[in-house]
C-alpha cells in the first residue's frame, strides 16, 4: 500500500466510503504542486471524526474528490486549556499560534492589555496558521483562534470553574511555581513585550482563580514565555503528565 505523504484539514464529514470534495486551493496543492493523481492516498482530518486515509477519485485543476477508505487515528482532544497572550510582532504572533496548536491548546485567545503593541489582528490568518500546524504535527484537532478581546473584559466575564495560570514577569527569579494544583479547566496568560501595568497586575493577583507563577530566573520574550508556560502546564497537569 502506497504511503500517504500529504495531510489536509477539511470542513467536511469523514467516514467509511464518504466522498470529500476539494476546494480550489486544495486541488491546486495536491494536483498542481504535489503532482498527485487518481488512486493516490491522502490523509484527511476535520477536528471531529479523527484522521482518515482517503484515495483520490477525481483530480482536476480547479477541484477534485477524495473517498475515505479507513480511519487511521481516532479524534484526540487536547486538555481544556486556553492560551491567552498579547499580540506582538507579526512573525512572533504567528509563532505563538503555531506552537499553541502543536502543544495542545484547546483555544487560543489574543488579548489587548494596557501595553499591547497591536490593536488588531487578522483572526482568519491566525486560524489558518493553527490549521497548518495541526496538519504538520499529526494532530486531529484544530484549536479555535478567537478575535482580539480586551483583557479587562475577559477577566470580568471569567468562568468560576476555570483556573488561571498568570505568568508574571515581575516574579522572575522567585519561587512561585504551579505547585500541586488540580487539573480540569485552565487558562494560561502571557503578557506583552512591555509587561503588565500595575493596575492589571493588582487585578490579576487578586483574582480568585489566579495562580501566579514565575517562568524561571530570567525574563523571557513573549513568544518564548508562551512555549515555556505551556510546557510546564502540560507536564504538571496536561496530557504530557
* Contact by Cβ (8 Å): 230, 71: no
> pLDDT tens, 47-86?
999 999 999 999 998 899 999 999 999 999 999 999 999 9
Residue 175 has pLDDT above 80, yes or no: no
> pLDDT tens, 193-241?
889 999 999 999 999 999 999 998 898 999 999 999 999 999 999 998 6
* Contact by Cβ (8 Å): 190, 88: no
3 state DSSP class of 119: coil
Q: What is the CATH number of the domain that holds 129?
A: 3.40.1280.10
Q: What is the CATH number of the domain that holds 54?
A: 2.40.240.20
Is there a single domain that holds both residue 39 and residue 94? no
Does residue 2 sit within a domain?
Answer: no
Q: Which residue(s) pair with 145 in the sheet?
A: 108
> pLDDT tens, 176-192?
777 667 779 999 999 98
Does residue 1 sit within a domain?
Answer: no
Is there a single domain that holds both residue 116 and residue 211? yes
Is there a single domain that holds both residue 64 and residue 96? no
Overall pTM surpassing 0.85 (yes/no): yes
Is there a single domain that holds both residue 158 and residue 56? no
Range of the domain at 178: 81-237
Nearest residue to 109 (alpha-carbon basis) of 127, 134, 82, 132: 82
Q: How far is CA 202 from CA 6, 117, 165, 206, 210, in A?
A: 49, 21, 15, 6, 11
Amino acid at each position: 500500500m502506497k504511503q500517504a505523504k500529504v495531510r489536509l484539514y477539511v470542513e467536511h464529514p469523514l467516514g467509511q466510503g464518504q466522498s470529500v470534495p476539494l476546494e480550489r486551493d486544495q486541488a491546486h496543492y495536491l494536483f498542481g504542486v504535489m503532482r498527485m493523481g487518481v488512486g493516490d492516498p491522502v490523509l484527511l482530518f476535520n477536528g471531529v471524526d479523527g484522521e482518515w486515509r482517503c484515495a483520490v477519485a477525481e483530480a482536476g485543476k480547479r477541484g477534485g474528490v477524495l473517498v475515505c477508505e479507513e480511519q487511521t487515528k481516532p479524534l484526540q482532544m487536547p486538555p481544556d486549556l486556553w492560551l491567552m497572550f498579547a499580540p506582538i510582532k507579526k512573525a512572533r504572533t504567528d509563532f505563538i499560534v503555531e506552537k499553541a496548536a502543536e502543544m495542545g491548546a484547546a483555544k487560543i485567545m489574543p488579548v489587548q492589555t494596557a501595553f499591547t503593541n497591536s490593536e488588531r489582528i487578522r483572526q482568519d490568518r491566525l486560524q489558518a496558521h493553527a490549521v497548518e500546524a495541526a496538519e504538520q504535527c499529526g494532530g486531529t484537532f484544530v484549536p479555535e483562534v478567537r478575535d482580539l478581546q480586551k483583557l479587562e473584559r475577559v477577566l470580568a466575564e471569567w468562568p468560576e470553574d476555570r483556573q488561571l495560570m498568570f505568568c508574571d514577569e515581575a516574579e522572575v527569579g522567585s519561587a512561585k511555581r504551579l505547585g500541586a494544583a488540580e487539573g480540569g479547566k485552565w487558562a494560561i496568560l502571557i503578557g506583552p513585550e512591555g509587561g503588565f501595568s500595575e493596575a492589571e497586575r493588582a487585578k490579576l493577583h487578586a483574582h480568585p482563580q489566579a495562580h501566579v507563577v514565575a517562568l524561571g530566573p530570567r525574563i523571557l520574550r513573549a513568544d518564548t514565555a508562551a512555549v515555556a508556560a505551556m510546557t510546564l502546564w502540560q507536564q504538571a497537569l496536561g496530557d504530557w503528565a
